[in-house]
Every structure is written in structure tokens, then in C-alpha cells.
Structure 1
Amino acid sequence: MPETVSPSPTEQTCWLPRHQRSPRTARQELRDFLTPLPSGEPLLPTGELLVSELVTNAIQHARAPRDRLIFVRFQLAPDNTLRIEVHDADSEKPTLRDASDSDEAGRGLLLVQELATQWGCCPRKGGIGKFVWCHVSPEAAAA
């Protein structure tokens, strides 16, 4: 079960295990965060897809012990832009891949690049790990 913290009505955080069920849990956490907010509903479809991709990447590609947790933060800015952050204990930055038509994986970051209004990767404070972030704007979500 994730540990959810809501520092403010426009921010929510949770810790998730590195487990195959965590992307689903992250989507539910995002729904729980956005649904009560007046401007949250239009951000849900794109936000759910992007948080799922980022958490999946942290589970599958982070070179960290399996017992390390993934930290997820959602923030809603005054202009109703959703910021999603996914923190893991691996310092290596993610890279876009060229997936062939027959590849069954490898398109997650391409989806993030195409659907987010912005995205990036930053080192975590303290020097252990990184966080990958993306923004979903109401205009992009409506498209």
C-alpha cells in the first residue's frame, strides 16, 4: 500500500514499491489527487498515461536494489498545469530509443516527449538518484 502525503490541496506525494502493480497504483493516486479539483478532470487521461510510463521506467530500468522505493509527486500549478515527478535511486538519465515496428517495448519516453508540454530529468538532492518530470497543460490534454 502506498504512503500518500498531501502537503497542500495542490500537491500530493506517495512512495511506491518497485513492483509491477505500482504503475496502476500511481494512476489511482493521480485520480485521487485530480478528481476533487475543478480543473483536474481534463488532465486525467494524459496524466495517467504519463505517470504510468514514468513509474514503469523506474521499475524496469533503474539500477537500484529492488527494495528501494519510488517517490512520486503531483503538483497542480495556478495555471492548471500538472507536474508529475518520479524519483528513483539510479543516477543514470533516461534516453529516448528508436524502437522498430516489431519491438514490443521502448516507446515510453517517446510518448512522454510527444504528450507532455515539457519534460526532463534532474539529479536528486543529496546526489543519490534522479527524478524524471513532465508537465501536462490543460490545452495539451484537450487536444
Structure 2
Amino acid sequence: MPSLVKHCTMTSMVAYAGATWDWHRIHYENEYVKARGIDYPVVDGQVFGAYAVQAIQDWLGSKAFVSSLDFRFTQLVYANEIVRCDGEIIKVSDEGLSIDMKVAVIDSTGNIIRVVVEPMSAIVLWQD
């Protein structure tokens, strides 16, 4: 499965907050997070599910339907970090695929700094 790389900019974070109606200040307000001992706004964890589905659908196309997605956050991701979503097929059937995935913060050369979502698994069904 091809990797999906995303830069978690403040612009993309605010756009996601608007799309999901999640206006908690921890996701966009510098003064709010600094007052709580956090250096930068925190990326909304739900976005990693959206990134996983995007990676799958970019790869398999519109006939792929993600019927199940389970994941666990292991660490926070902060504004302006770059993340990469990777996956590996673990089962193939006539109905679809099972994929194990993870999301990691990476540096500018693609090296993993820390894994932030793992385990992550998806069940993908084929639609006619």
C-alpha cells in the first residue's frame, strides 16, 4: 500500500475543525495551549482516521469501501508536524482486504521520529 504523507498545518487543522464542528481551543489557540504547558496546538486525533481512509481510497479507488477502521493513539501530534500513514495487507479475499496500518511523525527526509497511531486496522470491501 502506498504511503500517504500529510503536513499538519494550522490552516489544515482549522479547516478540519470547521468540517467536524470541533472548535476546542487546544487545536488552534497558541495562548490556550501554552497556558496548559503544551508548546503547540494539538492535531485533532480523528483526522488520522480520515488520513487512513484517504490513503486506502487513493490507492484502491472508488470501488473500495472502508467498512471498519480501528485505531489507538499513542502520542500527540502538534501543529506543523509531518505525518506518514503506512499500511500492509494482511488478508485478501473475494470480498476485500484486511490492512494493518500505523501513523508516524516523520522528519523532512522521511525518517520516523515517533509512531503516534498504532495499532490501526482497516477492513476494506469491494463495491460493485
TM range (shorter): 0.3 to 0.5
Ranked by relative contact order (alpha carbons within 8 Å, sequence separation 6 or more), the top structure is 2
TM-score, normalised relative to structure 2: 0.42
User: TM-score when scaled to structure 1?
Assistant: 0.39
Which of 1 and 2 has greater Rg?
2
Structure number with higher strand proportion: 2
Q: Higher helix fraction: Structure 1 or Structure 2? A: 1
